[in-house]
Amino acid sequence: MQRFIPSAKLYVGQLVVVSTHAEAQVRTIAQIHKRKTGTVYAVTFLWKEGDRVCGEFYQPWGLYKPTLDQIEYSITANGALINKNDVCKYVIKQIESARTTEEA
């Protein structure tokens, strides 16, 4: 049985799935969005589809620790999982984008 991950236990770089289905896409947490009170209200995921890096803003509940079978499926289907370099590139793009928006 897969373990549910409470939002207080989430961290950047963590592998998660949003379904217990055997062919669920394994995603990597790139950002954790918190309220001023410290409660998590959303996360940003990244995952690969071939050579493309995809992302999604998602609620933090209903996340599970992926099984080995799900990890193997995602690597086989997509060639690789998101790594720390991919997460860093994404975060840098977000910062640059915000800076450009502020300057405009």
Q: What is the pLDDT of residues 29-50, one digit of tens each?
A: 999 999 999 899 999 999 998 8
Looking at every residue in the chain, the average pLDDT score rounds to 91
Structure tokens at 72: 């193997």
Distances (CA, A) of 42 to 48, 60, 61, 64, 66: 20, 5, 9, 15, 19
Residue 104 has pLDDT above 70, yes or no: no
5 with 80: CB under 8 angstroms?
no
32 with 10: CB under 8 angstroms?
yes
DSSP labels for 14-48? -EEBS--STTPPPEEEEEEEE-TTS-EEEEEEEEE
More confident residue, 67 or 97: 67
Q: What percent of the chain has pLDDT over 90?
A: 69
Q: Give the span between the Cα atoms of 44 and 27, in whole angstroms.
A: 10
| pLDDT at position 51 | 86
Query: Is the pTM higher than 0.85?
Result: yes
Residues in CB range of 63: below 8 A, 6 or more apart: 4, 5, 7, 10, 16, 17, 18, 43
For the chain, the domains span 7-103
